[in-house]
Chains A and B, each alone.
Chain A
Amino acid sequence: MNPTPPEPNQNDPQPGDGALDEMTAALRDAGADQARTLPPELRRATLQALWAADAGRYERRYARNARLFRRLGAVAAAVLIVAAGWLASQVVYQAWIRQDDPKVRWKYALRPPPPAATTRAAPVEREAPHSQGTGSTTAPGAPTDPLAASVAGRVVFLGSPPKRDVVNLKGRDCAAIHPSITDDSLLVSDGGGLANVVVSASRVDGQPLSGPSPTAPAVLDQRGCQFIPHVLAVMVGQTITVTNSDPILHNVRSLSVDNPGFNFGQPAVAPGPRLPAMQAVERFTIKCDLHPWMAAHVSVFDHPYFAITDPRGAFAIPGKLPDGQYVLTAWHEKLGQKQATVTVKDGQAAATDFTFDASTLREE
């Protein structure tokens, strides 16, 4: 048998190895003479190329960083502007909603603060006959000068007044504007004076009284989810302007029967539209459908001889009543009305007081 030939080992010398080694040696020695020293000009040129490339890299990095910082600066500026705007709006908003809060020691008042009063009695907002056409109105909370009036007096509540209800604001957005609201339908001062009573005069013999209507509109404001004043008295021919000082939606709806009705929304702070002039003698209520506790009582007369009691219960019917006998009617939204007869002589009448008590209190 023929012996098996040995397998070729890759480490064994291969044909052509010698030639390859010789070629390798030839290549190893190739150019040895010329490459013995590095040409100085090549060294210098290479170093310059390296420096230029390094400088270019530095410039690119600087440009990239500058771009990055510019963009970051723009973003930071935008964020700062937005934050400053938000902060300013918050300051204005907080100042606005707290302008009526007596606990706040400092505030940015957007409007003059309301008059400080222990009760929320409605001021008498009408023009006195002697000042008709001038647009002036009686100062809120200040009684009409009794000397200029024919009839003056006071309305008193006898006994201890019932506790004022607190409106439940749970779940309502407007709770952020006003922390609490108390019912202002029955306001009795410490001395027993009853506010918001409409006192008007009429002839005993039924003859009508007359007088020019004020040209200035009576203003009914919505502030802190309440109508201010709570009781309003106007003349036939006079207009009412309903304004909104709250940054929230109110709906103003008139429950009048004989006078032009109105029903409109006021989404935010607004001066309010000019409404049609009153046309008939009537007592009606203005409501806000969104806030059921909001109500204003409007009395419309065809003469100027009427007044609304101030927080102390005092009233003074402005103007000079002709001499004669008159019936004074005092009306309160929850206590009903009472009448008294007065005699005006030489333009003056004796002081007339009315008394109410809880016996006539109408519970709703």
Chain B
Amino acid sequence: MVRRMVDWDGIIDREGPAVWRTVCRLLTHRADAEECFQETFLAALQLWNRQPVRSPRAALQRLATARAIDRLRQRYRARGRQGDEPPALLADPSPRPPDRAAAAELAEDLRAALALLPDKQADAFCLHCLDGYSYREAADALGVPVNEVGVLIHRARARLRDLLAARAPIERHATREVTR
């Protein structure tokens, strides 16, 4: 069997920034993000060796999202066991303006809720809502029909709403609206 040579230099140059953005968005800890980035490309190497990949971008985003969600789950599970403080954010540790602090808090709430979603729902939500993939692109990346992507996203939103309502971020949001 003739082995295809994969141009990893070119792939990292083209798709690396997007993958890096995805893992940074979901994982606030820089070391976690770097580790997740490398794991994504090592998983991609195994995927490339197993089968031909039609869309490197979609495959890498899918792998990055799945691994980042996994890490989120591990983090929140460990935090639940140990009751630690949240890890240092990717941003500089200096005091942040109130708006940025509120946005970071909202983002952290959503991360915690995403960690509780089933795999496919979390992946579909991230690809569509965070990375801006269309339903068709998300369907190609996930390997499912387009209709199923819509169902997955709908269920993910419903579940997130329930989770976020239970954590009462909405009240916080409402309070912030009144303050403005």
Chain A interface residues (CB < 8 Å from chain B): 10, 14-20, 22-24, 26-39, 42-43, 45-47, 49-51, 53-54, 57
Evaluate contact between B157 and A20: CB separation under 8 angstroms: yes
Question: Lowest 8 CB-CB distances: which A-B pairs, in order?
Answer: A35-B24, A31-B24, A26-B106, A27-B107, A23-B110, A30-B107, A35-B21, A26-B103
Q: Cβ of B129 < 8 Å from any Cβ of A?
A: yes
Evaluate contact between A22 and B106: CB separation under 8 angstroms: yes
Which chain B residues in 18-32 approach chain A with CB under 8 Å? Answer: 20-21, 24-26, 28, 30
Evaluate contact between B161 and A16: CB separation under 8 angstroms: yes
Which chain B residues in 128-180 approach chain A with CB under 8 Å? Answer: 129-130, 154, 157-158, 160-161, 164-165, 169-170, 173
Known: A16-B165, A19-B170, A43-B12. A34 touches B41 (CB 8 A): no
Closest B residue to A35 by beta carbon equals: B24
Q: Closest approach, in angstroms, between the C-beta of B174 and any C-beta of chain A?
A: 8
Q: Which residues of A contact B25 (CB under 8 A)?
A: 27-28, 30-32, 35
How many chain B residues touch A (Cβ–Cβ < 8 Å)?
Answer: 41
Please pick, from A17, A24, A33, the residue contacting B129 in the complex, using a CB distance under 8 A: A24
Question: Can you spell out 20 A-B residue pairs with CB atoms less than 8 angstroms apart?
Answer: A14-B161, A20-B110, A20-B157, A20-B160, A23-B106, A23-B109, A23-B164, A24-B130, A26-B110, A27-B25, A28-B130, A30-B104, A31-B90, A37-B17, A43-B13, A46-B16, A47-B9, A50-B42, A51-B8, A57-B49
Give the CA-CA distance A153 to B27 in the complex, in Å: 125
Q: Which residues of A contact B9 (CB under 8 A)?
A: 47
Q: Which residues of B contact A18 (CB under 8 A)?
A: 173
Give the CA-CA distance A323 to B89 in the complex, in Å: 141
Evaluate contact between A26 and B45: CB separation under 8 angstroms: no
Q: Closest approach, in angstroms, between the C-beta of A235 and any C-beta of chain B?
A: 85
Evaluate contact between A46 and B12: CB separation under 8 angstroms: yes
Please pick, from A15, A23, A36, A57, the residue contacting B169 in the complex, using a CB distance under 8 A: A23
Evaluate contact between A50 and B8: CB separation under 8 angstroms: yes
Evaluate contact between B173 and A19: CB separation under 8 angstroms: yes
Q: Cβ of B111 < 8 Å from any Cβ of A?
A: yes
Q: Closest approach, in angstroms, between the C-beta of A10 and any C-beta of chain B?
A: 7
Evaluate contact between B106 and A27: CB separation under 8 angstroms: yes
Q: Closest approach, in angstroms, between the C-beta of B162 and any C-beta of chain A?
A: 9
Chain B interface residues (CB < 8 Å from chain A): 8-9, 12-13, 16-17, 20-21, 24-26, 28, 30, 34, 37-38, 41-42, 45, 49, 90-91, 103-104, 106-107, 109-111, 129-130, 154, 157-158, 160-161, 164-165, 169-170, 173
Q: Closest approach, in angstroms, between the C-beta of A65 and any C-beta of chain B?
A: 12
Q: Beyond A38-B12, A39-B34, list 7 extra A-B contacts (CB 8 Å).
A: A20-B161, A24-B110, A26-B106, A26-B107, A30-B24, A38-B17, A50-B8
Evaluate contact between B17 and A27: CB separation under 8 angstroms: no
Closest A residue to B162 by beta carbon equals: A16
Q: Which residues of B contact A31 (CB under 8 A)?
A: 21, 24-25, 28, 90-91
Known: A16-B164, A20-B157, A27-B25. A42 touches B37 (CB 8 A): yes
Evaluate contact between A47 and B107: CB separation under 8 angstroms: no
Closest B residue to A33 by beta carbon equals: B91
Q: Which residues of B contact A42 (CB under 8 A)?
A: 20, 34, 37-38
Evaluate contact between A53 and B42: CB separation under 8 angstroms: yes
Q: Closest approach, in angstroms, between the C-beta of B112 and any C-beta of chain A?
A: 11
Please pick, from A19, A26, A34, A43, the residue contacting B164 in the complex, using a CB distance under 8 A: A19
Known: A10-B154, A42-B34, A53-B42. A34 touches B90 (CB 8 A): yes
Known: A23-B109, A27-B25. A53 touches B45 (CB 8 A): yes
Known: A27-B25, A33-B91, A34-B91. A16 touches B170 (CB 8 A): yes
Q: Which residues of B contact A27 (CB under 8 A)?
A: 25-26, 106-107, 110-111, 130
Closest A residue to B172 by beta carbon equals: A19
Known: A42-B34, A50-B42. A32 touches B12 (CB 8 A): no
Closest B residue to A58 by beta carbon equals: B3
Give the CA-CA distance A22 to B45 in the complex, in Å: 36
Closest A residue to B12 by beta carbon equals: A43
Closest A residue to B110 by beta carbon equals: A23
Q: Which residues of A contact B16 (CB under 8 A)?
A: 38, 43, 46
Q: Closest approach, in angstroms, between the C-beta of A106 and any C-beta of chain B?
A: 51
Q: Which residues of B contact A54 (CB under 8 A)?
A: 45
Q: Which residues of B contact A37 (CB under 8 A)?
A: 17
Q: Closest approach, in angstroms, between the C-beta of A68 and any C-beta of chain B?
A: 14
Give the CA-CA distance A50 to B165 in the complex, in Å: 43
Give the CA-CA distance A16 to B170 in the complex, in Å: 7
Give the CA-CA distance A57 to B24 in the complex, in Å: 29
Q: Closest approach, in angstroms, between the C-beta of B109 and any C-beta of chain A?
A: 6
Evaluate contact between B37 and A47: CB separation under 8 angstroms: no
Known: A19-B173, A50-B8. A38 touches B20 (CB 8 A): yes
Q: Closest approach, in angstroms, between the C-beta of A171 and any C-beta of chain B?
A: 58
Query: Among A19, A29, A50, which residue has the most Cβ atoms of chain B within 10 A?
Result: A19
Q: Closest approach, in angstroms, between the C-beta of A151 and any C-beta of chain B?
A: 94
